Chains A and B, each alone.
Chain A
Amino acid sequence: MVTPTRKKERIDQLARSAAEPADKGADTGVSLAASAWRRLRRNPVFLFGAGIILVFVLGAILSPWLAPYDPAERMLADQVVKARNVIPPAQPGHPLGGDDQGRDFLSRLIVGSQQTLLVGVCATLIGLAGGMVLGTLAGATAGWVDSAVMRTVDVMLSIPGILLAVSIAALFPKPGLYTVIIAVSMVQVPVFARLLRGSMLAQRASDHVLAARALGVKRKSIVFRHMLPNSLGPVIVQSTLVLALAIIDAAALSFLGLGNPDDNTPEWGQMLGNAQGVIDSHPNLAFWPAGCIIVVALGFTLVGESLRDALDPKNRR
């Protein structure tokens, strides 16, 4: 209906008709997340890590059905001789033997994944939430609010992570699952806060934020539409890496006796702690939970690393 009178329009019309057939397969409106996913799908490292996580998460969810026995039942108690350090060995029906109280070790290992993963995920989410609030506050305001928040964060960062977690866990009168989650998440808050503030500051100096300011966009939109979404990439990556760390930290707390005191709901770190007395004669009791922790942590780390590559703007086409 529009007659292309002007040269510019004619050129564009030409370009459009020429581009049309080739454009059919082009993806319109592909978001950053979608294009990152396209790259991830073909990345063997990501697939391997995601496979590990999937296996363990499914195992944790299905553990009541997967575990052959009740993890709290002392079914092999008659084979335990405390004084001589005799612990039930592997035998038909109990491929990994029993623990020092005669409970089926395989069942405890499978059911233990529940608590361990729960602590890891919850601690990461809480740490992420806290870190995002502080990081956004600091990155968006600058000035004295920023300084106040960041100095607090620096103080927290200056204390070694596990020491901080132990001190926080020790603040609670009764150790338990929640004290572990809170202690581990508090350690991660400053990490997330600092990371997010850093990338928010980088965004603040970026051209598109300057362009948005030149359009008179309100500060709230600048922070939440222009700065925050662009700063999330490193934070997402960090959270997958932190998941691995949180699992290790939680295990360490249990190992140190600051975890869930209820011996009947198993947890890998706690199993590891129980094994330390007999590690000379029965290294297998330490081997399995430690191995599980390492493999899960590896899975999350691999996913984190490949996410980092996929979200890297330099790879963006």
Chain B
Amino acid sequence: MPLLAVQDLTVVFQRKGEEAFTAVDEVSFDVEPGQTVGLVGESGCGKSVTSLAIMGLLPSRGARVSGSVRFEGTELLELSDRQMRDRRGRDLGMVFQDPLSSLNPVVPIGIQVTEVLERHRGMPRKRAMREAEDLLRRVGIPDPRRRLTEYPHQLSGGMRQRALIAIALACRPRLLIADEPTTALDVTIQAQILALLAELVADTGTALIMITHDLGVIAGLCDEVNVLYAGRVVERGPRHQLFAAPRHPYTYGLLSSIPRLDAPRGQRLVPIRGSITDNIPWSTGCAFAPRCPRRVDACVEVTPVLDDHEGRLLRCHNPVPVTEEAAVPS
């Protein structure tokens, strides 16, 4: 049994008197214990909404969540607020994008770490403080005792993100959702944070859902990759296969728009034309069709389904052939 089974998860935002907007459209994926699964896509494709829906953090008014999210066999979408609150932080942890704004500016780091320990593990303050010191040391924060008494604005960006990871992992959740954890950091710190995440995940056996727009992050970390476009999974496969031979034109486009060290000198990057707002509803065809270089007539007439193409799940009428040269060497 998978640790987390997401089945046909759909999130519809609806405000009174306005047209409903489907942000996440029948997304399904499984996460096995200890596995790292990536959700990739550009801004607005539904990555963050998926994670918030799994955590039960979407507002109750205005957002309709349907489908099924099973965590160790328990249907999370049917839990009461109170039951869900008990699970968040204990079974499911989350790391957010901007480490500065995700920490409470008026509360010292130590209190913010011990808060979870007191809440979920019933630790008395003193023991929780010792545990917090260990946690900060484990995520590589130097001089953790001093940092416990400091406020978020006194820490550097990388250190803040380390502190957030420490908080998220404090109760040893079995699943950690990292929503663009490196986007707000500069490149050298990004690498450190990713290495830290990979190491902690390996050490503790925590499963990880990595949400990012950055394929470089995925390449180094994920076992399986889901590519999202306009709320639907368009391609899924094991990391190496996906990077070696992207089949969906969108994935292919994403990979060819990244600079490569082994590319011939002077070669231009190939951008994906248009923006994610240039799409057509999935009900009438393929949402990516207006931007797709491999568009055929069927793309605007028949909705593509997520099908098995030689071990790869694809939602495409005219996929990139396997024989074409690999975009990125694995």
A12 near B57 with CB under 8 A, answer: no
A215 near B146 with CB under 8 A, answer: no
1/0 contact string of B97-111 vs chain A (CB within 8 Å): 010011111111000
9 smallest CB-CB distances across A and B, nearest first, come from A216-B88, A215-B89, A216-B89, A29-B149, A207-B101, A16-B142, A214-B94, A211-B102, A207-B102
Q: A31-B106, A208-B102 are in contact. List 7 more A-B contacts (CB 8 A).
A: A12-B141, A29-B108, A213-B57, A216-B85, A216-B86, A216-B116, A217-B115
Given contacts A29-B108, A221-B115, A229-B106, contact A211 B94 (CB under 8 A): yes
Residues of chain A with a CB closer than 8 A to B96's CB: 207, 210-211, 214
Residues of chain B with a CB closer than 8 A to A30's CB: 151, 154
Residues of chain B with a CB closer than 8 A to A8's CB: 140, 192, 195-196, 199
Q: Is B236 close to A, CB under 8 A?
A: no
Q: Among B90, B104, B167, B168, which residue has its beta carbon within 8 angstroms of that of A225? A: B104
Residues of A whose CB lies within 8 Å of any CB of B are 8-9, 11-13, 15-16, 19, 26-32, 206-208, 210-218, 221, 225-226, 229-230, 313, 316-317
Q: Among B98, B108, B167, which residue has its beta carbon within 8 angstroms of that of A207? A: B98
Q: Among A16, A29, A214, A217, which residue has its beta carbon within 8 angstroms of that of B55? A: A214
Q: Is B87 close to A, CB under 8 A?
A: yes
Q: Among A13, A28, A214, A216, which residue has its beta carbon within 8 angstroms of that of B142? A: A13
Docked Cα-Cα span, A11 to B103, in Å, equals 25
Given contacts A15-B142, A213-B88, A214-B88, contact A32 B105 (CB under 8 A): yes
| A128 nearest CB across to chain B (Å) | 19
A215 near B119 with CB under 8 A, answer: yes
| A26 nearest CB across to chain B (Å) | 8
Given contacts A207-B98, A213-B88, contact A9 B140 (CB under 8 A): yes
| B156 nearest CB across to chain A (Å) | 10
Residues of chain B with a CB closer than 8 A to A207's CB: 96, 98, 101-102
Residues of chain A with a CB closer than 8 A to B55's CB: 214
Q: Is B153 close to A, CB under 8 A?
A: yes
Residues of chain B with a CB closer than 8 A to A217's CB: 89, 115-116, 119
Docked Cα-Cα span, A16 to B94, in Å, equals 28
1/0 contact string of B130-172 vs chain A (CB within 8 Å): 0000000000111100100111011000000000100110000
Max count, chain B CB within 10 A of own CB: residue among A16, A213, A214: A214
Docked Cα-Cα span, A15 to B105, in Å, equals 25
Given contacts A207-B96, A210-B57, contact A29 B143 (CB under 8 A): no
Docked Cα-Cα span, A31 to B87, in Å, equals 32
Given contacts A29-B150, A216-B87, contact A211 B142 (CB under 8 A): no
